[in-house]
Amino acid sequence: MSTKLPLLQQISQRRIDPPALTPNMPLVEVIDNIFLSYNGGRLREGCQLYVRKMLAEKATVGLALSGALTPAGLGMSCLVPLIEAGFIDWIVSTGANLYHDTHFALGMELHQSRPGLDDYALRENKVIRIYDIVFDYECLLGTDRFYRQLCRGEAFQKTMGTAEFHYLAGKYLAAREEETGLKGKCLLASAYRCGVPVFTSSPGDSSIGMNLAALQLEGSRLAIDPLCDVLQTAAIVYAAKREEGASGILILGGGSPKNFCLQTEPTIQEVLGLEESGHDFFLQFTDARPDTGGLSGATPGEAMTWGKVDPDKLPDSVTCYVDSTVALPLLSAYALSRHEPRPLRRLMEKMPALMKQLTDSYGNRRKHEEA
């Protein structure tokens, strides 16, 4: 006699019968019990995936950061607490997020306003606008001066990847925070304290890159090597998957940071020829549609065809179509409430050993191939 369950019972996760909201219901319970369907359901699944699987003891978490999130204060309010709790192990960010993040370590002010302002009047008064965020033009000029003065120093007079560059910059930003009593305001400073590597996939595409380019006109020996970043990010993921470990990617937005995080697996498998199967966990918050063919809307299933996501782990992938400025605070609050802090992996300090492991494996593969 067949004991197969009816289809409805097979596909049901739970009966829709949520409790009534109360004034004192904790946010995490709202997410678990009220966010049941549509993108609310996907956000709940994403929060639970992050806490229950991506933050497992042997899982390494990479963050892809795009969109102007740090100017909105989401660096200090959400990302810094996640870094300090050990919930983010490495980062690929747009340069703009890191540049605007620097304003806060320098004690500069950004202000909440509203959209639809008179942009001609703003320009005449030297006020910069990012949608409903406004700040004085001097924020840009002062931050430019900081980076040019900092990078004229002897420690920067060499070729390096962006992780090393941001680690050095973070050291000085952390010291500035300590001097001014602003500790915890700056993502780069917190990443330095916690040994979290921070990469920029397009180092010339931001005001930081613009200032480094200007220094070359002065004869600076500082040069950014993006190929170093390709290998170092691959080394992080390769090490994460050894000894029954796992790799998860948290994607805020999309664009180049998303691909740079995910391309680590094709680098390992397709280019270096090392045995691997793809990232284990994929969690993306985006407002981009997949049918336009743009990278930001590319689904985990599509990524799986490239070797970026392990096909056996595809069920552990969630795409939630919601603005990151809405999703990130909810995810952060949920994770910080539902999971104890993890020991810091301090991957930046382990980078030489990670690179040696990748280099040795690639060398051994080539020797075996040539034998």
Q: Is the pLDDT of residue 337 over 60?
A: yes
> Could you give the 3-state DSSP secondary structure of residue 61?
strand
Answer whether residue 257 is part of any domain: yes
**Segment 235-252 mean pLDDT:** 93
Per-residue pLDDT band for 83 (boundaries 50, 70, 90) equals very high
**Segment 17-43 mean pLDDT:** 94
What are the CA-CA distances from residue 42 to residues 35, 38, 87, 288 (Å)?
A: 8, 6, 20, 15
Let me know if 184 is exposed, middle or buried by CB neighbors in 10 A (0-12, 13-18, 19+): middle
Per-residue pLDDT band for 32 (boundaries 50, 70, 90) equals very high
DSSP state of 20: P
* Tokens matching residue 82: 């996640």
- Give Cβ neighbours of residue 288 (< 8 Å, ≥ 6 apart): 254, 294, 296, 297
DSSP state of 59: E
Amino acid at 26: P
pLDDT, position 49: 95
pLDDT, position 252: 96
Answer whether residue 22 is part of any domain: no
Answer whether residue 5 is part of any domain: no
Q: Is the pLDDT of residue 250 over 90?
A: yes
pLDDT, position 1: 52
Per-residue pLDDT band for 2 (boundaries 50, 70, 90) equals low
Count of structural domains within the chain: 1
CA 11 to chain centre: 33
Answer whether residue 4 is part of any domain: no
- Give Cβ neighbours of residue 304 (< 8 Å, ≥ 6 apart): 278, 310, 311, 314
Q: Is the pLDDT of residue 171 over 70?
A: yes
**Segment 2-30 mean pLDDT:** 88
Question: Any idea what the CATH number is for the domain that residue 345 is in?
Answer: 3.40.910.10
Q: Is the pLDDT of residue 304 over 90?
A: no
Q: Is the pLDDT of residue 74 over 60?
A: yes
Kind of pairing, strands 133-136 and 127-130? antiparallel
Following DSSP, what letter does each residue of 69-110 receive, concatenated? -GGGTHIIIIIHHHHHTT---EEEE-HHHHHHHHHHHTT---
**Segment 41-59 mean pLDDT:** 95
Ramachandran quadrant class, 126 (left: phi over 0; alpha: psi -120 to 50; beta: rest): left
Q: Is the pLDDT of residue 301 over 90?
A: no
pLDDT, position 8: 86
pLDDT, position 76: 96
**Segment 227-253 mean pLDDT:** 94
> Could you give the 3-state DSSP secondary structure of residue 128?
strand
- CA distance from start to end of the chain: 58
- Domain residues for 323? 36-364
pLDDT, position 308: 74
Mean residue pLDDT across the chain: 93
User: Per the residue annotation, which of 185, 241, 258, 308 is the catalytic one?
Assistant: 308
pLDDT, position 289: 76
Answer whether residue 7 is part of any domain: no
How many Cβ atoms from other residues are within 10 Å of residue 109's Cβ? 11
Answer whether residue 61 is part of any domain: yes
Answer whether residue 24 is part of any domain: no
Amino acid at 19: P
Least confident piece of the model among 102-106, 178-182, 310-314, 319-323: 310-314
Question: Is 308 a residue of the active site?
Answer: yes
**Segment 206-227 mean pLDDT:** 97
pLDDT, position 364: 93
Spatial distance between the Cα atoms of 353 and 347, rounded to a whole number of angstroms: 10
Answer whether residue 14 is part of any domain: no
**Segment 248-270 mean pLDDT:** 94
Let me know if 87 is exposed, middle or buried by CB neighbors in 10 A (0-12, 13-18, 19+): buried
Q: Is the pLDDT of residue 270 over 80?
A: yes
